[in-house]
Chains A and B, each alone.
Chain A
Amino acid sequence: GQQLNQSPQSMFIQEGEDVSMNCTSSSIFNTWLWYKQEPGEGPVLLIALYKAGELTSNGRLTAQFGITRKDSFLNISASIPSDVGIYFCAGQLGAGNNRKLIWGLGTSLAVNP
């Protein structure tokens, strides 16, 4: 199936550090979404982006919709142990009956207290 290029694949950081991850694609998306998934749980929506260039924050999280509409990044500032999990980007393609979400493979984040 289709996938986005998400990087890095995994990160191991110290508590208090900032984190940055991104997704790129050759396709143009009309929406970018960032999700966090913890073990045994479904993904939880963190931030939704709807317009090229849009920069949106949710607490310590900040995400941007790339100007070309082919990429997005997510930053986490001052990481804490509960930030541990897998972060997925997802881009929405198409319209009408051809709408679908394309997912990255995830960035696994570990935080050392």
Chain B
Amino acid sequence: DAGVTQSPTHLIKTRGQQVTLRCSPISGHKSVSWYQQVLGQGPQFIFQYYEKEERGRGNFPDRFSARQFPNYSSELNVNALLLGDSALYLCASATTPLAEAFFGQGTRLTVV
């Protein structure tokens, strides 16, 4: 069975640009969460979606937005990129918001 898949794996953007990251959850999983992991730190929670509705939001500015589609895949959008947005962006899927989350390999975003 395919695990959580994220695309792209690597991305380089310039300051001020916008980026869209994509995540496909494990088949049967309806919950998707997004995390930002800066080098040397643990993941920081950004959003959780379940059944296409937002179920949780971390302390990130409004430049960060996300959505979940009818097939439970998800996109994370970041507008007006800053250098500090450079990080590994992780997507995790679970059957429900309280169940164990399984992570994808992440998207490495570099803002220059």
Contact = CB atoms under 8 A, between A and B. Distances in A.
Interface of A: 1, 3-4, 6, 31, 33, 35, 40-45, 48, 88, 90, 92, 96-106
A45 B42 contact: no
A99 B42 contact: no
A42 B106 contact: yes
Nearest to B103: A42
Binding site secondary structure of chain B: loop
Greatest chain B CB density within 10 A among A35, A42, A101, A105 is at A42
Greatest chain B CB density within 10 A among A6, A41, A92 is at A41
A12 to B, nearest CB: 17
Contact of A48 (B41, B45, B100): B100
B44 A1 contact: yes
A103 B44 contact: yes
Contact of A103 (B43, B54, B104, B106): B43
